[in-house]
Amino acid sequence: MGNPVLVEVLRGSLVESRHRGAVAIVDAAGATVMAVGDVTVPVFPRSAVKALQALPLVESGAADRYGFGDEELALACSSHSGEPGHVAVVNRMLAKAGLDVTALSCGAHWPMNQAAAFALAETGAPSALHNNCSGKHAGFLCVACGQGIDHMGYWLPDHPVQKTVRGVLEELADAVLSPECRAIDGCSVPTWAIPLKGLARAFARFGSGTGLSRERAAAAARLRAACAQKPCHVAGTGRFCTEIMKLLGARAFVKTGAEGMYCGALPEQGLGIAIKCDDGGGRASEAVMAAIIARFLPLEPAERAALAGFIHPVLRNWNGFEVGGLSVTDALG
């Protein structure tokens, strides 16, 4: 019958659209806390796993070698909006490794932040620095340079950096990532298809450190702390990842991915979360993530009220008139 409807989109009082999908919530031991829809089919997490991909940056010693603080580590985990502060930090990361923008192989696109895009259009054109994945790519380059590895081709699946990243994903998700489940991400690095249950377990481990070596658990904690301290560097002004971590701090880690993917961790509860909307609807996966956080994380009344705006966001037309909204269905229980 397919995956259930997770979110309905209302115009007036009538349902105008529906978003189907699946959700897995798992603890670090692999026990399923919640499974909605098919959580066993492999899906591409895309940018939702950037924090896991950033673990080698800390584990290899490169972050310390180059004196990286919270801003650099948060950018390495980010899908940033291309705002001036984001671009400046990526430039700084590259410079520490003796590189510049020409080393990036992520491609160029206009900043996701509208104000930043308009400002850039007045003076020039976007470069790879403005790519939302440039922080991750700068992190990969620093891993290579910090270990004395040739950084050329760092984005290819057979490069030592990408082999290391694949190993991290395999360990955390308890998965075997064969070439058959590999594709090319929007920024050209490998993206690996992993079942939602495995992704949720990976984030439970990332969030709690359970089942990880002491060094890997410490690296995960350091990345989470950096993202909690600098949430604007994880996404950008007004975006869901940033707003949720500004609201909840280190109690919740969330990260968006393309095509309706969202992953996250509730460290104190030892839970990992993986969400996939079948139609690629990011607005729906955000509402579902907010609803899950509201259900599983103890909240103060003000925090619960703030989350309600993400669970049931209002839709407005160009005149600002309220025309409808999103509603998470009872499929989540």
What is the distance between the alpha carbons of residues 284 and 6, in angstroms, rounded to a whole number? 8
The residues near 246 (Cβ < 8 Å, ≥ 6 apart) are 231, 232
pLDDT digits 0-9 by tens, 188-235:
999 999 999 999 999 999 999 999 999 999 999 999 999 999 999 999
Element (H, E) at 266: strand 261-266
Q: Assess contact for 106 and 138: CB atoms under 8 A.
A: no
pLDDT band at 125 (very low <50, low <70, confident <90, very high): very high
| Pair 90, 108: CB distance under 8 Å | no
Residue 78: band (very low, low, confident or very high) from pLDDT cuts 50, 70, 90? very high
Determine contact, residues 239/252, Cβ cutoff 8 Å. Answer: no
- Tally Cβ neighbours within 10 Å of residue 330: 8
Q: What's the CA gap between 239 and 254, in Å, rounded?
A: 11
Asked if 66 and 95 touch (Cβ cutoff 8 Å), the reply is: no
Q: What is the pLDDT of residue 1?
A: 62
Q: The pTM is what?
A: 0.96
Average pLDDT estimate for 155-182: 97
* Structure tokens given for 329: 């269905």
* Spatial contact of 273 and 266, defined as CB atoms under 8 Å apart: yes
What is the mean predicted confidence (pLDDT) over 271-299? 97
Band (pLDDT 50/70/90 cuts) for residue 34 is: very high
Q: What is the pLDDT of residue 333?
A: 83
Per-residue pLDDT reduced to its tens digit, 46-61: 999 999 999 999 999 9
